[in-house]
A = this chain, B = another copy of it.
């Protein structure tokens, strides 16, 4: 080997080390490929990518600093399936039956008896108060950490009735890509959902990569309880806040404290926070997920108990908000 060949080899070698080392900063390489591979080319995909580019381009007219890139996602029907019933309902029913094993009195007490015996006639008569009573019974906890374990033990074993797989595998694969895409562009991602905050927080980190303080939901009463030197927070069975419709707007103000620039939802319950997001001088993006794929998922036009989108579609049409057409925009629903 001559000196010049050695020289050439060393330069190549050191340059490779240099390139390799710097590639541990992940963004430059990823941006060369499609960040949303499960999304077909569509108006929705174009709108999302064009929006992200415009608010993250320094020096551009629409640039927004990372700290203000707040994006809010609904959960049920937006990040994971909510049919034939919202997943939390299955957890709640399973948990009541589990609690009855050590508290046999539950089996003779309404509304728990209807759940334990799967008495469909009685279940059909349930009023919102009955659901609140049952959710309160289940979600009450002597310690927040204990409840986390109960939820995660359920997620590790329970199966969705239609898909026959774990509930955390009913998460929409294109939405996981969207979360990662936004995260890689320094968006501050929050969940603002009607589901119970304590239920969602138990799995949001491992399933969505979203930490507990970025998960906002419906809430029960909390109380600080002392026992000798010990201090803990108990969750009481009383309902404190319904995080739906206008409640979502109040939650954004109370928990986040600044207005989102992007919001993703799928039902009329998300309309208020979309309006709140849209009414500002900065560029914003409002996205509705439209459930119209009865084959791979659910066509809500066939009738649904939760998640209907009627008024939201009317407003979205008027204001040219973005509609994700699940049937045609997503190559896969769950990443099969």
Interface residues of A (CB under 8 A from B): 3-4, 6-7, 10-11, 14-15, 17-18, 21-22, 67, 144-145, 188, 190, 197-198, 201, 205, 211-215, 219, 222-224, 229-233, 246-247, 249-250, 252-259, 272, 275-276, 279
Contacts and interface: CB of A to CB of B under 8 A. Distances in A.
Contacts of A211: 67, 188, 258
Contacts of A249: 224, 231, 233
Nearest to A215: B257
A30 to B, nearest CB: 18
A232 B276 contact: yes
A144 B215 contact: no
Contacts of A279: 230-232
Q: Is the interface of A mostly helix, strand, loop or mixed?
A: helix
Contacts of A276: 231-233
Nearest to A224: B246
A22 B190 CA distance: 32
A10 B212 CA distance: 50
B224 A254 contact: no
B275 A213 contact: no
A224 B244 CA distance: 12
Nearest to A259: B145
- Smallest CB-CB A-B distances: 5 pairs: A212-B257, A224-B246, A233-B253, A7-B7, A18-B18
A258 B214 CA distance: 11
Given A222-B253, A233-B249, 7 more contacts: A7-B7, A7-B10, A14-B14, A14-B18, A231-B276, A232-B276, A232-B279
Contact of A233 (B197, B233, B250): B250
Contact of A11 (B14, B67, B246): B14
A190 to B, nearest CB: 8
A7 B256 CA distance: 56
A108 B276 CA distance: 38
A22 to B, nearest CB: 6
A233 B67 CA distance: 21
Contacts of A252: 233
Contact of A256 (B213, B231, B246): B213
Nearest to A230: B279
Contacts of A144: 253, 257-258
A139 to B, nearest CB: 13
A249 B254 CA distance: 17
A122 to B, nearest CB: 34
A258 B222 contact: no
Contact of A197 (B145, B214, B257): B257
Contacts of A213: 188, 190, 213-214, 255-258
17 contacts: A7-B7, A11-B14, A14-B14, A14-B18, A21-B22, A188-B211, A190-B213, A201-B257, A222-B253, A223-B250, A229-B275, A231-B272, A231-B276, A232-B276, A232-B279, A233-B249, A233-B253
A21 B275 CA distance: 44
A205 B67 contact: yes
A198 B255 CA distance: 11
